[in-house]
Amino acid sequence: MLCMNNFLFRVKIRLFFFLFLSGILSSCLNAAVWRDSIVLPQSGQLPLFGFHLFKENNLPNPLSTYNLPSADYRLALNDKISIQIIGRSQANFVFSIDEKGFISPDKMPGIFLAGLTFLQAKKVLSAHFSRFYTFSSGQFIVSMVPSGKIRVYVLGNVQEEGFYELTAMSNVFQAIAAAGGPTNRASIRNIKMIQQGKASNLDVYAFSSYPNGEIPMQLHDLDIVHLPVSKTVVSLTGAIHRPLKYEVLDGECLGDMIHFGGGLLASANVQYAKLFRYTENVQLQIDIYLPPYLAGKSCFTFQPGDSLVFKEINELSQNRVKISGAVLFPGFYGLDSSGSIQSLFKKAILSEGASKDQFTLLRKDENGALGIKKMSLKASEWFVDVELMAGDEIIIDFKSKFKEEFTIEVAGNVKVPFVRSFPPAA
């Protein structure tokens, strides 16, 4: 019996020091400290990238300034034409198209413009004015302020479908804004338009990321604008310049979405990111190894509802604490912003399976001896917060681990002998 007790004692001692050394080794191998600025993405609170372009207060009023319409804009009665000549002859004019479709420059014959496209009108005006004024190519500038009206159908996933009367020279953004903007399920990357019998599509992301200087899809009378349902919407949060929701098209990869997000922060951890994905009514948490995707060697395929969290890193520092177990973001946290247990819990975020009966605080004293303290999570909502020290480790247990316990006794030639009960996986 005595031999059996000695044997069990040696097993317990070896198990304790194995766990202790494992923790030290894990700390030494860690090459970076996770910053704790990232929290679980609340995707329902994130706006969708690109939707701000359809807010009426973000859009210019076509009547407010002189504009360059699209080449196929057709001039209407009462439209105002601005002409500026900056060659050997210098002059400025503003003409209004009269009820007969003409403008009437002083000491010149009337010029018929109603119904012409803007491109046609520029050529006609240049030809007429060149008979009376001297200028070269590029020195005859035509712009305009429209005063006519157009009627446009705006359909699909907008706040208010309908038939809208807009100022002539309005573009597709202004038409969608007039309908109250897109709904949360609308696609703004495959906006369908039928203009004078011809169908076309508009990808707002492509327009905003690679603008070519042209007016975005000016509309004509009786044009149709339709916003279909988006297929895949994901969330990118954390160490990215624009933490928002993004619509993903078939064939697009992680690099494309990072580009739309303005790129990763300089402090971003480019080795791993955390993916939250729903599948079969369960939310999975997956560590994504980033280098192949960032280098373009592999294409990470998104699924609807994915949330990808990019974390930040600091240089390795001893001024840190560690949390592990039943939390969404285990790892090391700097004491500068996680100096107490309460603040650490807010950063690491307890998982649904966390046991709130108790957690374990591991702390070394001034002599390097390891102390173990059990604390209750239930009481953490009202008890006086505990300040953390460099090197502290918090272990959050899962509920399933409390079905059985085992006891470790440390005695003999140690600085702090103790007897403690622990869950099997502690």
- Ordered by start, the domain boundaries in the chain are 2-31+316-422, 43-49+231-314, 80-145, 148-227
Are the C-beta atoms of 157 and 229 separated by less than 8 Å?
Answer: yes
d(CA 140, CA 124): 12
123 Cβ neighbours under 8 A, 6+ residues apart: none
Note the pLDDT of residue 212: 54
pLDDT at 158: 96
Query: Would you say residue 17 has pLDDT above 70?
Result: no
Lowest mean pLDDT among 60-69, 151-160, 170-179, 207-216: 60-69
pLDDT above 60: residue 419: no
Which pLDDT score, from 0 to 100, does residue 125 have? 95
pLDDT of res. 208: 77
> Is the pLDDT score of 42 beyond 80?
no
Which residue has 């707002």 as its token pair?
204
Query: Taking residues 303-327, what's their average pLDDT?
Result: 80
Dihedral over Cα of 20, 24, 29, 32: its sign: positive
| CA gap 251, 301 in Å, rounded | 8
Q: How far is CA 379 from CA 327, 362, 376, 382, in A?
A: 18, 18, 5, 6
**pLDDT score at 276:** 93
> How far apart (Å, rounded) are the C-alpha atoms in residues 136 and 117?
22
- The conformation of residue 172, written as its DSSP 8-state character, comes to H
161-217 residue pLDDT tens: 999 998 877 888 889 999 999 999 999 999 999 987 889 999 989 887 765 545 556
pLDDT-wise least confident of 41-50, 196-205, 345-354: 41-50
Mean pLDDT for 146-167 is 90
63 pLDDT more than 50: no
Beta-carbon count within 10 A of 100 CB:
10
Work out the percent of the chain whose per-residue pLDDT is above 70: 74
Mean pLDDT (whole number) for 37-62 = 64
Q: What is the mean pLDDT of residues 260-271?
A: 88
Q: List the beta bridge partners of residue 84.
A: 92, 141
Q: Which fold has domain 80-145?
A: wza like fold (3.30.1950)
- Pairing relation of β-strands 320-325 and 393-398? parallel
Weakest mean pLDDT among 22-36, 82-96, 262-276, 375-389? 22-36
Partners of residue 420 on adjacent β-strands? 408
Q: Over the chain, what is the mean pLDDT?
A: 78
Which pLDDT belongs to residue 401? Answer: 52
Annotation: CATH topology of 2-31+316-422: Outer membrane lipoprotein wza fold like (3.10.560)
Pick from 80, 84, 83, 45: nearest CA to 64: 80
N- to C-terminal Cα distance for the chain? 28
Q: Which CATH class is domain 148-227?
A: alpha beta
Q: What is the pLDDT of residue 27?
A: 40
SS3 153: strand
Rounded CA-CA distance 282/296 in Å is 30
Q: Is the pLDDT of residue 229 over 70?
A: yes
The answer to whether 80-145 and 148-227 have equal CATH topology is no
Residue 201: CB atoms within 10 A of its CB come to 11
Structure tokens at 93: 């004019």
For residue 22 the two structure tokens come to 């494992």
Cα 71 to Cα 120: distance, rounded to the nearest angstrom: 8
| 411 exposure class (CB count in 10 Å sphere: 0-12, 13-18, 19+) | exposed
Please state the rounded mean pLDDT for residues 37-41: 42
More confident residue, 344 or 213: 344
Amino acid making up residue 314: N
- What CATH superfamily is the domain 43-49+231-314? Outer membrane lipoprotein wza domain like (3.10.560.10)
pLDDT tops 70 at residue 64: no
* Interatomic CA distance for residues 31 and 28, integer angstroms: 8
* Predicted local distance difference test score (pLDDT) of residue 32: 39
For residue 232, what pLDDT is reported? Answer: 95
pTM of the model: 0.55
Q: Render pLDDT for 354-392 as a digit per residue (tens, 0 to 9).
A: 887 778 888 887 777 778 888 776 655 555 578 888 888
CA proximity to 329, closest of 294, 376, 287: 287
Contacts 24+ apart (CB under 8 A), 119-122: 119/71, 119/72, 121/75, 121/81
